[in-house]
Structure 1
Amino acid sequence: MEEQDFFFGLEGPLEAVPAAGQMRAANLRGFSNYVRARGGAPRRILAQHGLDPMVLADPDAHISCQQVAAMFEYCSLLFDDPLFGLHLAATQDADIFGSVTAVCRAAPDLRAAIASLIRYLPVAHSPEAQLELVDDGGMAELRWVVGADLGFNDQANYQAMMLILLLLRTVSGQRFRAAWVQFSADPSPRELIEIEALLGTAVRPRAPGSAIGFSATLLDLPIATANRLTYRLVGGYLGRLRLFNHADMAERARSYVRGALPAGTCAIERCADRMGLSVRTLQSRLAAHDLHFSDLVEEQREQLARIYLRQTPMPIDEVAERLGYAEQTSFGRAFKRWTGQTPRQFRQG
C-alpha cells in the first residue's frame, strides 16, 4: 500500500486475540498484593494452578479461564472467604478491560458504550463472555453468560459482576444506578447482606444467569468523556479485530507474525500459545493451507520491509534488526530476492 492510499493505520494487530477458553491476564491485576496481604503466596498459588507467575507482569497475556476460576475457588477456601472474587474486584477498576474500557469511555452515550462492551469484550478480553442488552422500554437488562464450562465458578462470577458495574459507573460519571443484579450463586443470608453493600444494589441470587437491571432511561445518558476521534479510532481497530477473530487459522497466524516481528517476539511456540494450540496442531492446520510457519514469516518480512523503507526514515540496519535479521547483509540478500532491488535502490525508487 502506498503512503497516499491511506490516512492512518497500523501495520497489523498489536496483539493476537484470546483463543477459546482464554482471557486477558488483566483480570489478575492486584491479585498478588491482595493475596499477600491475606498471608498467601501468590506466585506459588498461580503455579499450583498451572499459571505462569510471569503473567502478573503482563496484563495482555492470555490465560486459561478455567484455571483462573479454579484458582479463585481455591483462594476462597484457603482464606476462608466465601466472597473472595468480590473482595478482589473491589480493589480493582474498570481499566482491567483495557481498550474496551477506552472505547466505552469515548462513546457518545451509555447505550453506545454498552453496545461497544457487548461487541468488543468477547474479542479483546475473552471470547467466553457472551453479553446482550434487553430493552423493553421501561427496564433494561445487561445479561451475560460464560460460553465455556468452567465448573464451579462463583468467585469468578462475583468478580465479573463487580467489574462490569464498575465500568458502567465509571463511564457514566457515577450516574449509573442499578435497580438490581442477579447471578447463579447461592450465598448465605449474611453473605447476601455484604454482597448488596459492596455492589450497592439489590441482589437476586440463584438465578439462571448473570444480569444487571436498570431503568432504560439511563441508556440515553451522555458520556462526559465522549470523544468522537477516540471512539472511531479505537472502535475501528476493535472492529477489525472482531473480523480477524472469525478469520481462518492461516490469517490468524499471519496477523500474529505481523505484530510480533517488530517486537522481536516472533516464534512458532509463542504463536501457538497465543492461539491456544500446540505447536504440532498449528503446523498441521497451516499445512491444510499448504503453508509453513516460515512461509508466513518470510511473507510478512517482505511486506513490512517495503513499508519501513518506503514510508519511514528508519535506517536500513534498524529495518533489518526489526525484521529479525542478525546482519544487514542477510536482509539485503533476502530483499533483493523478493524485489530484484537492494533496500537502498527500493527506497530511492
Structure 2
Amino acid sequence: MVSHAHQGTTSSALTRLSVNAARLLGIPPHGYAHLLGLAPEHLNDDLCRTPAATGIRIAELTTVHTPWSELSVLLAQQSSIGTLGVWDYLITSAPTPLEGIRDASAYFATVADTGTDTLQVTEDGEHITISHVNQADLTYEAACAIRAYALGLYQRRLGEAAQRRIVPVHVALAAEAPRRHDALTELYGTRSIDFEAPDSSITFLAGDLKTPNPHAQPGLSTVLRRHAEQTLATAIPLHNWLDLFRAALASADDETTPTLSAVARRMAVSTRTLQRRLDEHGTTWSDEVETVRRARITRLLHTTDLSIDAIAARSGYADARALRRAVQRWYGTTPATLRRTGHHHPDSAATGLSDLG
C-alpha cells in the first residue's frame, strides 16, 4: 500500500498547515519560501507530496521564534476537521473512535513520512494508548513541537468522532518540561503530563474510545479506506528537481497534449535549460512524455469503457493503430488484452511517472 517513493515526503496539506502557522507567528517568509515544494502550484495541489525536509525546516525556523509548546497548541488549533483530507475522516466516520484511530494508523502515510514517523495504538485492559514516534533528523525544539502537536491532533479527532471532548487519563512527552505548562494543559485538558518519556503517548479510558460514534454511517469507512489507497496511488512525491518537472508535465497533460515550451513556462525556465536539466538527470523530453502517455493510456484502459480510437485521441496519438503499436512496445500485448486482464508488464513501474494520473 505504501510505496517506497512516498518516504521522505509528507502531504501538501500538512505542509500548508506548517506554512500557515509560520505566517501567523510572523516568521519572515524569505527563510523558507524558496524550499522545494512551496511553489503555489505544488503547495496547493493535494496530489503533490512535499519533501519532509521542507516541513522540518519550517518547524525549526518557527521554534526559534516561539516556544515549542506554544507552536504545538497553535498547530492543533489550526487543524480543523478536513485540514488533513481523507485521513481526518477515517477517524471521525468510523463506527467507534478506536476503529477510526486504527484506520488512521493503517493509512498514516497519507499525511506523514512513515520513514520517520509512526502512529501506534495499544490496548491494555481498561486503557488504550496512542503513541507517536518521531525519528526525523531535526532540532530538539522542533521535534518536541511535532510530537506534542501529534498527540493533541489525535485527541481532537477522537473527540470530533465521539461528538464530545475526550479527556486523557495520562499524557507522556519525549521532551523536557517547559518553563510553563499552561499551553499543554489547555491542549490536552489535563495536568497529568509526564516529561522526558522514552516515547510520546496519550492514554484514554477504553470505554471512551469504544463507545459507538453518534453519527457513524455503515459502510462509509470502507469507502474512505479505498479513497485513502487511491490518494497514495496517485500522489506525486517531490524529492528533487526531476520530481518538480514531472509534476509540471503531469499538470500540463491534464489540460492538453503537453509541449516543451508550455512546461518550460510553468517552470519559469527556457526550453534549452529544461532540456539540459533533463539530460543531467539521465532522461529526455520524449522519454518523459511517453511515460506520461503510457500512464494515461493504462489508466483509461483499466478505468473506463472508452473505445481505443477515443483513448488514442485523448492521448495524442494519430489513430488507434499508432496506440496499438505503442501498447505492444510497452507491454508486449494488445490494448484489448491489457484492458481485459488488468495486468501489465512488471517493468512498467520502472520510471517515476508510471503511477501518475
TM-score range, shorter chain: 0.5 to 0.7
Aligned counterpart in structure 2 of residue 131 of structure 1, from 100, 111, 119? 119
Instruction: Map residues 286-297 of structure 1 onto 2, 5 A cutoff.
Output: 296-297=291-292
State the one-letter code of the partner of 2:64.
L
Aligned to 2:298: 303
Counterpart of 2:32 in 1: which secondary structure?
Answer: helix
Could you tell me how far apart the structure 2 residues matched to 1:206 and 1:90 are?
24
Distance 1:307 1:180 in 2: 49
Residue in structure 1 matching 2:182, options 179, 182, 193: 193
Q: Deviations over 1:291-326 (max 9, x none)?
A: x86775454444345457x6259993xx45643x2x
Give me the whole-angstrom Cα distance separating, in 1, the residues matched to 2:257 and 2:6: 18
Equivalence for 1:213: 203
1:235 has 2:225 as partner: yes
Matched-pair contact (CA < 8 Å) for 1:179–1:214: yes
Corresponding position of 1:98 = 85
- Superposition deviation, residue 37 in structure 1: 4.1
Correspondence for 1:177 = 167
Indicate if the aligned counterparts of 1:18 and 1:123 stay in contact, CA closer than 8 A: no
Q: Are 1:263 and 2:254 an aligned pair?
A: yes
Distance 2:323 2:199 in 1: 56
Q: Distance in 1 between matches of 2:177 and 2:46?
A: 30
Q: 2:14 aligns with which of 27, 50, 67?
A: 27
C-alpha distance after superposition, 1:232-283 (max 9, x if no partner): 12213435778999xxxxxxx9xx99xx58735999xx9xxxxxxx989997
- Distance in 1 (CA, whole Å) between partners of 2:111 and 2:23 is 29
Gaps of 5+ in 2: 236-242, 264-276, 340-357
Could you tell me whether the CA contact under 8 Å between 2:72 and 2:148 is conserved in 1?
Answer: yes
TM-score (norm 1): 0.67
Using the alignment, how far apart are the partners of 1:125 and 1:77 within structure 2? 23
Q: Where does the alignment leave 5 or more consecutive residues of structure 1 unmatched? A: 1-12, 246-252, 271-277, 285-291
Match in the other structure for 1:10: none
Q: Tell whether the 8 Å contact from 2:69 to 2:178 is kept in structure 1 after alignment.
A: no
| Aligned residue type for 1:201 | T
Aligned length: 295
Instruction: Pick closer, same or farther for the CA change 1:17–1:23 going to 2, 3 Å.
Output: farther
Aligned sequence identity (%)? 18
1:287 — aligned with what? none
Distance 1:78 1:307 in 2: 51
8 A contact 1:183–1:209 mirrored in 2: yes
The 8 Å contact of residues 107 and 223 in structure 1, kept in 2 or not, is answered as yes
Contact 2:91–2:103 (Cα < 8 Å) also in 1: yes
- Structural RMSD (CA): 4.4
* 1:283–1:293 Cα contact (<8 Å) kept: no
- Give the TM-score normalised by structure 2: 0.66
Residue pair 1:69, 1:156 contacting (<8 A) in 2 also: no
What amino acid is the match of 1:311?
Answer: D
CA contact (8 A) 1:143 1:211 kept: yes
The answer as to whether partners of 1:184 and 1:205 remain within 8 angstroms in 2 is: yes
- Segment of structure 1 superposing worse, 212-221 or 25-34: 25-34
RCO higher in structure (CA 8 A, sep ≥6): 1
